[in-house]
Amino acid sequence: MPESKTSVLVGLSGGVDSAVAAMLLVRAGHRVCGVTFSLWTDPDCRGQNLCCSSDTLLAAERIAEDLGITHEVVDLSADFYADVVRPFVEGYARGCTPNPCVACNAYVRVPALLRKADEMGYRLVATGHYARMQGTPPRLHRGRSQAKDQSYVLAGVQPALLERLLFPLGDLTKAQVRSLALQAGLDVGAQAESQEICFIPDNDHRRFLATRLTPKPGLILDHYGREIGKHDGIHRFTIGQRRGLGVAATEPLYVLEIRQGDGVVIVGAAEFLAVRRLTVRELVWHRRPVSMSGLTVQIRSMGRAVPVHVIHYEEEVLELDLECRERAAAPGQAAVLYSGDAVVCGGIIATSKPE
C-alpha cells in the first residue's frame, strides 16, 4: 500500500471484491473515489446481464454511500462493444474461442480507469482483482490465493499501465473478503459469485451469436475423416465441446478441430483432445527472465499451471512444448507464461497440436 492520504480511484463493479478493496483503502487513510463503468447491454436482451444492468450501478452507488466516498458513473458502452463484444462475435465466426475478460481488462477497463484518474489528477487506481504487483519496477504476480488468482485475466494489460494499479485483495482469500464485508455491514458480503460472461444474457451463447452471425452450413467429420453429420455454422462450436453437437454416436464425442476455411467441424473421442504444442501470438511481455527454463503456462482462467519448454520465442510469437498434455487448448484463448508466481508474458493461442 502507498503512504496514507494518497488519492486513489477505485473501480466499483457493485460486487463484494471491489467493495472490500475500496473499504481497505479508506481504512488505510487514503482519499478514495469510486467509478463504475456503464457497459454495453444487448438491445435484444430477454434475460439478465450480470455486470451491465441498472441494478449493478445502484449497488455500486450504495457501496460508495456506505463507505462515505464520492462516486461517478462513466459510459463505456461504445468502447466495450468495439473492443470486447464485436471481437468476441468475430472470433467465434472464425472458429476461435475468445476470452472477453482478458480483452476487457486490456483494452477497456484498465485504460479507462487510468484516463479517468488522469482527468481527476489521481496517480493511482485500484481494482478488486486477486493479483499482486511486486518488485522494482512493480510487475504482475499471482494473487496469494491459488483458488482466486486473477493474474491470468490481467496478463494482456501493458506493464506500464499496471505499474499504477493497486490490488488491495492480493494477499487475501475469498472467504476473508466476504468476512470483511459482512463485518463492515456491506450488504454485498453474501453475494453469489458467477463464472458467466457478463454481457451475454442468461449465459446463452448460442442465442447471442445466432442473432449476430449468418448461418453457414458445413460438415461434421469424425477423427478419421468420415462424414457423420451436418451443422449450420462453426460459431455454434468450441474446442472440447461435448453437448449439442447434433450427431448420434455410441460413445461421447468432443469437438477436436474447427476449420474456418471449409467450415468443417471435426469430432472424436476425449483422448484426441490432448495437445502438447502451442503457438502463442499477440504477446505482452511483463519481464525478460534470465532463463527460459523452469517456466509454466496456464491456458484457462481457473486452469492449472503446466510445466513447459520454450522451443522458440521472439517479440511477437512463442512456440511452446508442454511437459504433459492439456485438453482443449482452444485457439483464441489466452495463454500466460509464469516464472514461479511472476507473470512473464501473456498472449493468445494461435494453434494447438498433439505433438
Query: Hey, which residues are catalytic here?
Result: 104, 198
Q: What are phi and psi of 317, to 5 degrees?
A: -150, 145
DSSP string over 61-109: HHHHHHHT-EEEEEE-HHHHIIIIIHHHHHHHHTT----HHHHHIIIII
Q: Which three cell numbers stand for residue 167?
A: 490490488
Phi, psi of 63 (to 5 degrees): -60, -45
Q: What would you measure as the largest C-alpha separation in the chain, in angstroms?
A: 68
Give the SS3 label for residue 182.
helix
3-class secondary-structure state, position 235? helix
228's CB contacts (< 8 A; 6+ apart) are: 220, 221, 222, 247, 249, 267
